[in-house]
Structure 1
């Protein structure tokens, strides 16, 4: 074997090893990045609404959707906030695309997401914010919620993604005496 063939073979082995190492690093980098702040992962780890309403801790309820750009933009910062306040605040995530949450969507008049509802220790809604919020605003509101004070940034509105519930009101059904002048139709 000539010396140039040996050098070429060694160079090719080094390039192959470098490519494998780089591919592995990129693969694990993307895995770590997407799972640690994904909305789905955070929703899985969130407190169930039924538990949050009865455990005596204040609650931050987040209405979100996986397709919501503003929700995705806030996910990394909210993950840090949730970690910081995990012991003292319930974090509930309700996906607006799940019809199970339609009563809550209607109760809190969700028409843009992300939509955050702050509940006191008895489960009463005391404030809300809509749209992207800086982490400093979210933390100031959570600190006030924990101290049982007025939230400094209540009813603040940032950038939102449009959302329309799949419920509309149609003409009254005059033949049904239980309708009391209104009929709810599911679907648009």
Structure 2
């Protein structure tokens, strides 16, 4: 199984959703991210990281509010946003970094 580091160091863009199960806005984003994942399949990855279960990653990337989305490519942060977004906003961010 690939590690978080392996995944974000990919040549493909990787959108990481830092979330928590108890977070209302995070729950709102779940179906949006699910749809987005199927639309960008093969071009980019969309993964979810539970901040309660992965506190080290939350500290490393200074996650202060959730949901926070970070777009990585080759280990570099290309884009970051806290709060909810539309599928179209997220898709255009990903497509601008393909």
TM-score by length of 1: 0.48
Consecutive unaligned residues of structure 2, counting only runs of 5 or more, are: none
* 1:126 to partner: Cα distance: 1.8
1:48 deviates by 5.0
Q: Separation in 2 of the partners of 1:145 and 1:55? A: 13
1:78/1:58 CA distance change after superposition, 3 Å: same
Larger radius of gyration: 1
Partner of residue 90, structure 1: 45
Number of residue pairs matched by the alignment? 97
Aligned partner of residue 105 in structure 1, secondary structure: helix
Runs of 4+ in 1 over 4 A off after TM superposition: none
Residue 103 of structure 1 and its aligned partner are, at CA, apart by 2.6
The two structures have a TM-score, normalised by structure 2, of 0.87
Match of 1:102 among 55, 76, 84: 55
Give, in whole Å, the separation in 2 of the partners of 1:52 and 1:87: 14
> Between Structure 1 and Structure 2, which shows a larger proportion of strand residues?
2
Measure, in 2, the Cα distance between the counterparts of 1:77 and 1:55.
Answer: 23
Map residues 1-188 of structure 1 onto 2, 5 A cutoff.
49-98=4-53, 101-120=54-73, 122-146=74-98
**Which is richer in helix?**
1
Which sections of structure 1, spanning at least 5 residues, go unmatched?
Answer: 1-46, 147-188
Instruction: Calculate the aligned-residue CA RMSD, in Å.
Output: 1.6
Structure with higher RCO (Cα < 8 A, 6+ apart): 2
Structure 1 residues 83 and 48: alpha-carbon distance in aligned structure 2, compared to 1, 3 A threshold: farther
Helix, strand or coil: the match of 1:106?
Answer: helix
